[in-house]
Amino acid sequence: METKRVICMQCHNACRLAAGVEGDRLISVEPDETFPGTRSSYPITKGCPRRRNVIDYFYHPGRLNYPLKRIKGRGDNEWQQISWDDAFAEIGERIKQITDRFGPEAMATTSGTGRTHDEIRQRFFNLLGSPNHTGAGQICYGPFCVMSNVLFGWRLFPVVRDNTKCILLWGGGGPRYWDVFWKSAVNARQEKGAKIIVIDPRGIDSTKHADLWLQNRPGTDCALAMAMINHIIEKDLYNKAFVDAWCHGFSDLKQRAAQYPAGKVAEITWVPEDKIRQAAQWYATLTPGVTNHGMGIEHLHNAVETLHAHFILSALCGNVDEKGGDIFTTPYSGIVHEQEIAAHDRLSDSQVNKTLGIDRFRLMSRKGFDLVQSHLQRVYGNEAFARTSYEAFAHGPSLYRAILTGKPYPVRGMITLSSNPMVTVPNTRLVYEALKSLDLYVVADFFMTPSAQLADYVLPATTYLERPWIWAYSGIVGSERAMPKTLEGRYDRRDDYDIWRGLGLELGQEADWPWESLEDLYDYRLKPAGLTFREFMDRGGFLSSPKENRRYQKSGFATSTGKIELSSKTLEALGYDPLPRYDEPHESPVSRPDSAAHFPLILITGGRHLPYYHSEHRQVASMRKMHPDPLVQIHPDTAAGLGIEDGDWIWIESPRGRIKQKCRIFEGIDQRVVHAQHGWWYPEKEGAEPSLHGVWESNVNVLIDDDPDICNPISGGWPLRTLLCRVYKA
Ligand code: SF4
């Protein structure tokens, strides 16, 4: 049996695995014990249900094997197998028709969670001339990375060390989100007496190990953070020497924070005053400390403001770039960076300015990106362009509206790769109507999905086992191809590189795709390291960057002032409030008592549930057996009052529609809040319309609002944790 080193891309842990292969048969996929980074993550990788069931996944009879072309109405689930040559030629011709008639901006793309090479997708679209790349970035890790860049000039990364005294977990960040971090946090508490503070509306697993749990009203986190800042300043608990030397805007912050006394904030947040003060005091005095978070903050209407306040806490207490605190990752310099591959310089300013939503949601667009990148380059040079930690997107909700209305201009074609907008994008009804109305819709995926059912062409993609991979973060890790991507008579799947290049060649981009394969591109990217991809893998497939703390003492922070910008010059330059400010959610019992009379419960969603990852894996029987149905968590008193019992199917209804999930009685949630699972569809159900694999039945995005007027005014993110609903027995 031959062993291949691979990186698992079935979630973001990116575990290094050893794939056992005999001929063209996959025999086993086990944790790679030879890999230097494996030791701490070994128990997680070992127990992971996605890894344990990967052979069922890989050989699933539902895998897409050849390109498919729609032969009847959109959504009729009638397909004809075609060759890759025909697929590229036909799709290329239809893209040409759209761009000739409406301009290149009439073509758009949707991406997923960054587990493909988005820089290659961006290259295709930049060369084509379209800025309309949308994705989950505005409600995923994007705002964290962006706001970290805005305040500090690089991406903050919490690492628990022996000297860490306080661990603040905000809106997730515990087990199942980042298990390696969580394990080190629990060890620090048990062995060194570090305190764990959890801020979360739900009593998730991490609260069992917490010294203090602040169970806040969903959506009020920014007020809570501002109250902690206020207490720390009022009581002189902050690191004065660090703030004086390295922070900009302290006095403005002090004035703003004074608007958030603990008493007032206790009423807003439902968190008792003494707990707010206790959390602030521990965090400020038990240093160094780390702050980790899940997606709970990114999913708020107030996401950017909350992250801003959360980062200010770290700065005030002297935890930034401090061993045992929140450090900076080091960019890896020995590789051609992703921004060069993305070819951003090939998109003209006039096309950049056509990005949908760029005038309104400026931070996570090229406007914000260019501003921040100019400071980063001063300190980090070209390294600032290695694995981007700054995302620039078109605004998804604005894009779907442009498809439907033709305003501000027509968008007529879309390519979806590594995403499933019918399940993962808010306001499913609107998304459905938009996709149905396109002149061209292409989906590349591993399996047929509700989104793929609406496509004109469906292209079969390679999994991490059938493709090579370079994962560059702070250092680089490589993955080799374990399985062939083509087996005569059985399947012919393509890497995302092959797909974008194949389309590029049809569209006259030959000169810009000199690398015939992904391996060739990796050879090019590794040239500065003096290695080919094969040589890199033969030497272990791993290169790390030297670690360096307090780089700012030599070069300052990569911001316009060279300091941490508590009051942000970048936000100010983009026309936003430079300081964090709490706003009540648009749809809450406080802001909409009229609506709350009919929809009395607060709906939150987005918490992780094994063995799935977002909308993936439900077709694999061995995984589905572990978690057969969607579950909604309800407090026992709330359920009893509504005559609902554990295991009952119940309707969850918002002003936008209703879905069904099974009741899971849960003590750890407030009586006024319910948590519904996301990502649900039923691969086993009828694929043709109207079912679309049961996409309307339990999919929480049917309930979510995406009106640009209620999106975060800075990032454009849509609220997933602050909506109103009612529940009743189905
Ligand atoms: S799915 Fe499992 S094995 Fe794969 S990266 Fe995630 S945790 Fe690691």
Q: Secondary structure of the chain: what % helix, strand, coil (to 5)?
A: 35, 20, 45
Output the CA 180–ligand 1 centroid distance in Å: 12
Return the residue whose CA atom lies nearest to atom 2 of ligand 1: 48
Paired tokens of 147: 């706001």
Q: Is ligand 1 within 6 A of the CB of residue 13?
A: yes
Residue 385 and residue 534 in one domain: yes
627 within some domain = yes
Burial of 133 (0-12, 13-18, 19+ CB in 10 A): buried
Residue 288 and residue 341 in one domain: no
Paired tokens of 213: 């749990």
Residue 322 and residue 196 in one domain: yes
- CATH of residue 694's domain is 2.40.40.20
Output the CA 37–ligand 1 centroid distance in Å: 14
The pLDDT tens digits for 540-586 are: 999 887 777 898 999 999 999 999 999 999 999 999 999 999 999 99
pTM comes to: 0.96
Q: How far apart are CA 12 and CA 45, in angstroms?
A: 12
Residue 188 and residue 275 in one domain: yes
Q: Is ligand 1 within 6 A of the CB of residue 167?
A: no
The pLDDT tens digits for 284-332 are: 999 999 998 778 899 999 999 999 999 999 999 999 999 999 998 777 7
Query: Which is the closest atom of ligand 1 to the Cα of 50?
Result: 1
362 within some domain = yes
Q: Report which of 624, 702, 620 is spatially closest to residue 660, judged by C-alpha positions.
A: 702
366 within some domain = yes
575 within some domain = no
146 within some domain = no
581 within some domain = no
Output the CA 45–ligand 1 centroid distance in Å: 6
Q: Is ligand 1 within 6 A of the CB of residue 7?
A: no
Q: Is ligand 1 within 6 A of the CB of residue 10?
A: yes
Contact call for residues 221 and 295 (beta carbons, < 8 A): no
Buried b (16+ CB within 10 A) or exposed e, 65-74: bbbbbbeeee
Output the CA 41–ligand 1 centroid distance in Å: 10
Element (H, E) at 487: strand 486-487
Residue 701 and residue 633 in one domain: yes
Residue 616 and residue 532 in one domain: no
For residue 536, pLDDT beyond 70:
yes
Secondary structure string (H, E, C) spanning 119-149: HHHHHHHHHHCCCCEECCHHHCCHHHHHHHH
Polymer length in residues for the chain: 730
Q: What values do phi and psi take at 457, rounded to 5?
A: -135, 140
Q: Report which of 465, 492, 626 is spatially closest to residue 55, judged by C-alpha positions.
A: 465
The pLDDT tens digits for 334-390 are: 888 888 899 989 999 999 999 999 999 999 999 998 899 889 888 888 767 665 555
- CATH of residue 13's domain is 2.20.25
Task: State which of 280, 295, 326 marks the end of a domain.
Answer: 326
Q: Which of 51, 56, 610, 622 to mutate to test the pocket of ligand 1 (most atoms within 8 A of CB)?
A: 51
Average of pLDDT values for 148-172? Answer: 93
Q: Report which of 467, 472, 410 is spatially closest to residue 444, judged by C-alpha positions.
A: 467
Residue 466 and residue 371 in one domain: yes
Average of pLDDT values for 262-291? Answer: 98
Q: Is ligand 1 within 6 A of the CB of residue 18?
A: no
Q: How far apart are CA 655 and CA 724, in angstroms?
A: 8
**What single DSSP character describes residue 687?**
-
Q: Is ligand 1 within 6 A of the CB of residue 51?
A: yes
Burial of 25 (0-12, 13-18, 19+ CB in 10 A): exposed
Residue 411 and residue 531 in one domain: yes
Q: Is ligand 1 within 6 A of the CB of residue 379?
A: no
Query: Which is the closest atom of ligand 1 to the Cα of 11?
Result: 6
For 699, other C-beta atoms within 10 Å of its C-beta total 29
Q: Is ligand 1 within 6 A of the CB of residue 463?
A: no
Contact call for residues 288 and 318 (beta carbons, < 8 A): yes
Q: What values do phi and psi take at 303, rounded to 5?
A: -60, -50
Residue 522 and residue 411 in one domain: yes
Secondary structure string (H, E, C) spanning 532-559: CHHHHHHCCCEECCCCCCCCHHHHCCCC
Output the CA 464–ligand 1 centroid distance in Å: 11
Identify the pLDDT of residue 389. 52
Residue 386 and residue 475 in one domain: yes
Q: Report which of 409, 401, 452 is spatially closest to residue 431, judged by C-alpha positions.
A: 401
Q: Is ligand 1 within 6 A of the CB of residue 14?
A: yes
For residue 179, pLDDT beyond 90:
no
The pLDDT tens digits for 383-439 are: 676 655 557 899 999 999 999 999 999 999 999 999 999 999 999 999 999 999 999
Q: Please give the distance of CA 93 from its chain centroid, rounded to a whole number.
A: 33
For 12, other C-beta atoms within 10 Å of its C-beta total 13
Q: Report which of 466, 36, 26 is spatially closest to residue 16, judged by C-alpha positions.
A: 36
| Bond before 611 cis per omega within 30 degrees | yes
Output the CA 19–ligand 1 centroid distance in Å: 13
Identify the pLDDT of residue 330. 74
Task: State which of 326, 360, 375 marks the end of a domain.
Answer: 326
Residue 520 and residue 632 in one domain: no
Handedness of CA 425, 431, 432, 434 (dihedral sign): negative
In one-letter notation, the amino acid at residue 473 is Y
In one-letter notation, the amino acid at residue 644 is I
The pLDDT tens digits for 470-511 are: 987 777 889 999 999 999 999 999 999 999 999 999 999 999
Q: Which of 6, 9, 10, 471 to mutate to test the pocket of ligand 1 (most atoms within 8 A of CB)?
A: 10
**Which value, in Å, is the radius of gyration of the alpha carbons in the chain?**
25
Identify the pLDDT of residue 244. 98
19 within some domain = yes
Number of domains composing the chain: 4
DSSP letters spanning 644-676: --TT-EEEEEETTEEEEEEEEE-TTB-TTEEEE
Q: How far apart are CA 448 and CA 630, in angstroms?
A: 20
Query: Which is the closest atom of ligand 1 to the Cα of 48?
Result: 2
Task: State which of 520, 543, 566 marks the end of a domain.
Answer: 543
Q: Which of 7, 11, 181 to mutate to test the pocket of ligand 1 (most atoms within 8 A of CB)?
A: 11
Query: Which is the closest atom of ligand 1 to the Cα of 179?
Result: 7
Q: Report which of 292, 297, 36, 353 is spatially closest to residue 142, judged by C-alpha positions.
A: 297
Q: What is the mean pLDDT of the chain?
A: 94
Identify the pLDDT of residue 537. 95
558 within some domain = no
State the residue range of the domain holding 51.
2-58
For residue 269, pLDDT beyond 80:
yes
Identify the pLDDT of residue 388. 55
Instruction: For residue 44, name the pLDDT band (cuts at 50, 70, 90).
Output: confident
Q: What values do phi and psi take at 114, rounded to 5?
A: 75, 20
The pLDDT tens digits for 580-628 are: 999 999 999 999 999 999 999 999 999 888 899 999 999 999 999 999 9
Average of pLDDT values for 448-469? Answer: 97
Residue 425 and residue 489 in one domain: yes
- CATH of residue 317's domain is 3.40.228.10
Identify the pLDDT of residue 476. 86
